[in-house]
């Protein structure tokens, strides 16, 4: 396994388990609009290494494990790291934008960074297939990616947890844009997938504009 990927996964595990055991630590570093607007910007990054529970952590790390090799295989370690961190930051910025006046809003999770890597991988290798535990046939990775964001819209509307659903979209935008900037030939080589992956992102802003979120 790639050394940088190991470091990222281990860091997520260490910080998340610390948060599981230490409520004060969890509260200090989670994404919280009121605290961020009071000057605690570290939360915009630290919250990306905290998780709600083991299943949340496992899902994010497994998704990262499956898609990261495509990104660093095509672009190298530096660009993979840039996409991971950039997507995390994009996710936090979009969350801050959408919830800037909701001072009690809280969120955690690496989902923004992971979704950015997912979107990058699909752009780079659009013919990928996935085998999911509960589906006995392979499904195209782009279906999984788009479905993941559509589920995130549901999560944003339902507001039943403190998982960073809005960050999924910010992360997707980050991974999408950074990959296209670094690999502009994708606009000609893979224009259909470039457009397809933009659909749920556009849908998010349309729903927000209509006041449906």
pLDDT value of residue 93: 95
Task: Please check the confidence at residue 129 and state whether its pLDDT lies above 70.
Answer: yes
Model confidence at 22, in pLDDT bands (50, 70, 90)?
A: very high
Cα 178 to its chain centre, rounded Å, is 14
Integer Cα distance of 8 and 65 in angstroms? 10
Reading the block at residue 205, the tokens are 């802003």
Q: Check pLDDT > 80 for residue 158.
A: no
The whole-number pLDDT of residue 156 equals 75
Taking residues 153-169, report their average pLDDT. 74
- pLDDT number for residue 130: 78
133 has a pLDDT exceeding 80: no
**Average pLDDT across the chain, whole number:** 90
Residues with Cβ < 8 Å from 17, sequence gap 6 or more? none
Nearest-CA neighbor of 48 among 78, 4, 93, 101? 93
Candidates 116, 136, 100; CA nearest to 60 is: 116
Residue whose tokens read 């961190």: 85
The pLDDT of residue 145 is above 70: yes
Give the model's pLDDT for residue 72.
Answer: 97
What pLDDT sits at residue 152? 81
Distance of CA 52 to the CA centre of its chain: 15
Q: What's phi and psi for 182, nearest 5 deg?
A: -80, -30
Residue with the bigger pLDDT between 210 and 11: it is: 11
Shortest CA distance to 167 belongs to which of 102, 115, 101, 103? Answer: 115
How large a percentage of the chain has pLDDT more than 70? 95
pLDDT value, residue 209: 81
What average pLDDT does range 121-142 have in this prediction?
Answer: 82
Q: 165-182 vs 111-124: helix axis angle to the nearest 10?
A: 40
**Mean pLDDT, to the nearest integer, of 169-178?**
94
> Do the beta carbons of residue 186 and residue 179 sit within 8 Å?
yes
């Amino acid at each position: 396994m790639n050394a940088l990927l190991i470091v990222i996964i281990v860091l997520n595990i260490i910080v998340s388990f610390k948060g599981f055991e230490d409520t004060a630590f969890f509260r200090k570093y989670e994404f919280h609009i009121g605290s961020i607007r009071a000057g605690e910007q570290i939360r915009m990054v630290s919250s990306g290494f905290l998780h709600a529970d083991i299943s949340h952590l496992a899902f994010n790390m497994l998704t990262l494990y499956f898609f990261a090799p495509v990104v660093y295989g095509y672009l190298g370690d530096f660009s993979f790291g840039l996409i991971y961190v950039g997507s995390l930051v994009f996710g936090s910025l979009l969350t801050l934008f959408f919830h800037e006046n909701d001072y009690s809003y809280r969120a955690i999770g690496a989902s923004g960074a992971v979704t950015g890597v997912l979107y990058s991988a699909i752009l780079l290798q659009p013919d990928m297939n996935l085998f999911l535990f509960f589906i006995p046939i392979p499904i195209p990775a782009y279906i999984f990616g788009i479905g993941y964001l559509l589920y995130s819209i549901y999560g944003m509307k339902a507001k039943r947890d403190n998982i960073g659903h809005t960050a999924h979209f910010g992360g997707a935008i980050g991974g999408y844009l950074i990959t296209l900037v670094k690999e502009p030939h994708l606009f000609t080589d893979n224009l259909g997938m470039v457009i397809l992956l933009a659909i749920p992102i556009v849908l998010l802003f349309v729903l927000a504009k209509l006041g449906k979120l």
